[in-house]
A and B are shown apart, each in its own frame.
Chain A
Amino acid sequence: MPAVDPRLLAQSRVVRVLLVRSAALGVATAALVIAQAWLLARLISASFEDGAGLAELRDPLLVLLGVVLARAVLAWWVEVMAQRAGTRVKSELRMNLLRHVVGLGPAWLTRQRTADLEALSTRGLDGLDGYFTRYLPQLVLAVVVPTAVVAAVVTQDVVAAAIIAGTVPLIPLLMWVVGAGTRALTARRLATLQRLGGHFLDSVAGLTTLKVFGQARAQADLVRRTTDEFRRETMGTLRVAFLSALVLELLASLSVAVVAVAVGIRLVGGGLDLSTGLFVLVLAPEAYLPLRTLGASFHASADGVAAADQAFTVLRSPLPARRDGAGVPRHPAVDLRLDEVRVTYPDRAAPALDGVNLSVCPGEVVAVTGPSGCGKSTLIAVLLGFVGVDSGRVTVCGSDLGRLDLDQWRRQVAWVPQHPYLLATTLADNIRLGRPDAPDAEVLRAARDAGLGRLVDRLPEGLATPLGECGAGLSAGERQRIALARAFVMDAPLLLLDEPTANLDGDTEASVLDAVRRLADGRTVLMAAHRPGLVALAHTEIRLDRPRVVDRA
């Protein structure tokens, strides 16, 4: 692995600025370290050998005090700077990731584990903290400080300088060897970690079902086994990772010991004076310290680097071609036409739609019927632009859907999916999803039109009540009706309904059917329908029999 991930460098100017600043602060730190060692050596030898008192040593003591203060300020500043840069880069990366994920769209998302993406874009990227606050600044220090120390020592004692210069480069070499060895292990560990995260969530989400089947205890054992597997996996990585730290520590401490002994022997022989000897002894550990700390922070940053790696993998997935083209004028009435349309999902062999032909006139209400899995939902996904066609042609208002600006096109479409997603916000904001500026009165009317009157009256704060995540506490029917209310507020010329009454009981169904009839008035409607009541609303019924079409009633 390169010392600095080039993709992170390319990603952000913040990272490049951080590196330059770290280098400047590193040089200053090295200068202060050398000054401190020199002053300490002078002071000790002057006292020990010359019997000097405080009065004679006042000046070097005051300078030493200044050095101490400057080192404290530097230590503070390096950390502040690195942490700030780190939060900036994480934020940039997170927002890029989220924008890209949304850009990749529903077709791509259905093939992902959403829990992984959520974990990656929140906690996963926090792993980069270690990279920015510890690894990067330490990396700079690890280059600057040993170089400066060797340069300083060589002016005083060539032998000690040679020992340090000979051993310091061995450390990055060993780190590289060990790093290459642990990289695959670290990647595997992250995969295990994510599988564990998904597994734990799945277990918690399914607790009720597990209890029904008396399996909650058995699942607990599975959770434990998964955690144990995680521990073994991690310990395996750590044994190797810490082994590198062991080698580094040994090399560093032994080199200091060798320097001390070498200096001591020449002191005995009179080849060196005490001040020089002490200077070398104080400086020698300083040459290894940044490298040893780097070894530790290297492993602390490994999670973050792996997370960044995953983020870049997502960011490299090509976005669907952006159509700059064809704006979509707002049509009061939309017409649709499908010619020989064929759709195959990437992970399926058989096409979901094959040779589908149909046309819908402006203002026509069409029910698409057929057994489960015949492609009714796929047909709606095609019209929403969620899924591209392999072959054939989809024409809306005389233009090829494949050439239209999809965002503009979707502004003319209101969609009521089979499983609407409710946002963790108020009921009102959920209903005005397609028109955030819709006034409360209109939202309330839409809610009542969709048969939500009783729910609104029941909720403690009415429309302003926050919904739990995924609409927790609401019945399936209520969720469906919230999606219908969205369509009422949206007021779009084309309505795509995916079995809007599937989850409703008889009486509510009747009121919703009334609402759908009102909503359909003057609009083009294409609905996937099972229930006779809904089909009865349609002018036309089209039977979609898998996988071919089409029988027009």
Chain B
Amino acid sequence: MKTVVTTRLAAATLLGAGGAAAGLGLAATASWLIARASEHPNMAALGLAVVAVRFFGISRGLLRYAERLVGHDAAFHALADLRMRVYRKLENLAPAGLPVFRSGDLLARLVDDVDSLQDLLLRVVPPYVVAAVVTGLTAGLVGILLPSAGVLVVVAALLCATAVPALAQQLVRRSEARQAETRGELSTTVVDLVQGAPDLIAYGATSSQLRRAATADAELTRVARAAARTAGIGSGITTLLAGLCVWGVVAVGIPAVQDGRLRGVLLAVVVLVPLAAFELVGGLPQAFATLERVRRCRDRVDAVLDAAAPVHEPPTPSAMPAAPYSIRLRGVRARYPSGRLALDGLDLDLPPGRRVAVVGPSGAGKSSLAAVLVRFLDIEAGTATLNGVALGDLDGGDVRRVIGLAAQDAHLFDRTIGGNLRLARPDATEAELRSALAAARLLDWADSLPNGLATEVGEHGARLSGGQRQRLVVARVLLADFPVLVLDEPAEHLDTEAADALTADLLAASSGRTTLLITHRLSGLHAVDQILLLDAGRVVEAGTHAELVAAGGAYARTWARERGDFIRPG
């Protein structure tokens, strides 16, 4: 892919240089033609100039057209490469490395900054190439005819290319940095306003949130207005330098003609070629301002690309052991990315076919245990092994082919029901999709939809109810048919009857399959082989349902309360 970009860029540069040269050629031959004609020569003496004028007139347009097309194509190829690099990097960061960035910023970074980088190829490089070619040719042509005029052209062009942008840069740098910051602020406010609209409306807080947006907008507007002055200064000074250069050439040209150092007929060429040249380099101040903006974007993209991965992949992963799979954790300690201790000396045995339930209050470390098992979180102390091989020595992707997770916050994609299911198994048949839906008690509902499995679920599954979303997540993980299944609160968002029914269904469907079920409801747990009660990152009670109830500890108390709920007063 890299070579596609490079060759196209080289071609675009050549074409741009050719177009610029043709523009100068037109000015030079046309002015010579007129000056020479005023000496009343015979027409044949002008023939070549007439042809040259027309040739340059035509080739300039054609070369420009080709340059723009090839240049844009190169830029888009480069953009695709960069998007892939950023995406791959984010893939390494997910999920533990991701909360570091806020999602609105993520979007701004990926779409805005990455897209802005193509401006480097479209709006920065070509004007500089054209400017360099034009300056060289103009200075050469004018300098041969009248050296002092050539010096003037070189000085003015260099000032245009260096001093003016350097001046503008100082002014622009401040405002652009400020603009990016306020832009992020505005973006966050707008996201809150649009996505949080129901909550804001219900709590009568829309006007204060609109005020926040207005403040961010006013700040952005203020910064942008200040930036306008500096952009204007750039083009003002460039216009001034161009005008002064032409004026200077006239001023040195007139005595030179008087002295006989310059043939009179060439004075028009010496004056009019720089005039045309500056028209061709007029885009430089804008190019420089763009360069400054692009540099900021690149810094932020680099920040994403340089972020440390939260999980360390082994340089040479051990070979995956073969089925059946047995998981063993001893004294495992792990931390959240925030540094807080999530697991603190946890033991777990998950031999083949064993079904273990993990219960405990929120914050006890249940979800972190799930993250450790699928290699989303590194352990800090203790051992975690799969068939005796340390999890940390295995490739994360390999581990996740064996240990599947239905996470609490599993994402539903803006696709159809079938499309979301097929994520688990792209080659699944319709019948397999239907049986997965049936296992999650979602088939009747899916069949009642006019479009069936082809129904779009919307952004984040917004067109489904909370329960339907959860069941679809469960159906998807069942379809994947992982040898070891980690279910993190699969019955979340369901009413108690449905939740207990789903738990029962899941336990039936997973019979004989190695399963770790994380739940806060105790109903149905008599069917599992072992229950672990977690608190503060370690196991505080372990045993079967009957044993734990008989033990009369925290589990028994929670069970009593849960069961007591069913005896409704009145």
Contact = CB atoms under 8 A, between A and B. Distances in A.
15 contacts: A48-B265, A49-B264, A75-B239, A209-B423, A211-B91, A223-B84, A224-B80, A227-B79, A268-B37, A268-B43, A371-B495, A372-B467, A417-B198, A424-B192, A483-B199
Contacts of A68: 240, 243-244, 246-247
A508 B192 contact: no
Interface in A427-481: 433-434, 436, 454, 458, 468-470, 472-473, 475-478
A371 B494 CA distance: 9
A281 B76 contact: no
Contact of B107 (A115, A210, A384, A490): A115
Central interface residue in A98, A202, A246, A470, by most chain B CB within 10 Å = A98
A158 interface: no
B110 A61 contact: no
A235 B77 CA distance: 11
A535 B569 CA distance: 10
Contact of B568 (A253, A270, A423, A535): A535
Nearest 4 CB-CB pairs, A to B? A76-B236, A68-B243, A530-B495, A83-B228
A533 interface: yes
A107 to B, nearest CB: 10
Given A54-B255, A476-B492, A260 B30 contact: yes
Interface string A9-45: 0000000000000000000000000001000100111
Given A54-B251, A75-B235, A469-B191, A198 B271 contact: no
A127 to B, nearest CB: 12
Interface centre among A40, A121, A198, A260 (most CB of B within 10 A): A260
Given A121-B190, A206-B413, A72 B251 contact: no
Contacts of A115: 107, 459
Given A202-B414, A238-B72, A410-B203, 8 more contacts: A72-B239, A101-B193, A122-B186, A214-B400, A220-B91, A415-B203, A421-B192, A531-B495
Contact of B558 (A468, A507, A535): A507
Interface in B95-132: 95, 98-99, 102-107, 110-112
Given A98-B193, A105-B201, A230-B76, A122 B69 contact: no
Contacts of B218: 91
A99 B197 contact: no
A334 to B, nearest CB: 15
Given A44-B271, A220-B88, A227 B80 contact: yes
Interface residues of B, number: 175
- Chain B residues touching A, majority SS: helix
Interface stretch (A147-155, A271-279, A515-523): A271-279
A434 B38 CA distance: 84
A421 B198 contact: yes
A204 interface: yes
A83 to B, nearest CB: 3
Chain A residues touching B, majority SS: helix
Contacts of A458: 340
Contact of B58 (A210, A254, A422, A469): A254
A95 B257 CA distance: 63
Interface string A214-251: 11111010011001101100110011001101100110
B192 A215 contact: no
Contacts of A209: 407, 410-411, 413, 423
A122 B65 CA distance: 32
A65 B268 CA distance: 18
Interface stretch (A184-192, A305-313, A353-361, A497-505): A497-505
A1 interface: no
Interface size class of A (residues with CB under 8 A): 35 or more
B314 interface: no
B508 interface: no
B41 A268 contact: yes
Given A109-B197, A238-B72, A504-B520, A200 B110 contact: yes
A532 B565 contact: yes
Nearest to B186: A122
B64 interface: yes
Contact of A423 (B88, B192, B201, B404): B192
Nearest to A117: B194
Interface in A146-199: 197-199
A411 B214 CA distance: 23
Interface string B469-499: 0000000110010000000000011111111
Interface string B194-219: 11111111111110111001100110
Interface in B38-71: 38, 40-43, 46, 49-50, 53-54, 56-58, 60-62, 64-65, 68-69
Given A53-B258, A208-B95, A410 B202 contact: yes
Contacts of B476: 213
A95 B190 CA distance: 10
Contacts of B62: 246, 250
A171 to B, nearest CB: 13
Given A117-B194, A200-B83, A209-B411, A261 B50 contact: yes
Nearest to A45: B38
Contacts of B244: 68
B430 interface: no
Contacts of B480: 213
Interface string A53-94: 110010001001101110111011111100110011011001
Contacts of A199: 414
Given A220-B84, A257-B30, A532 B232 contact: no
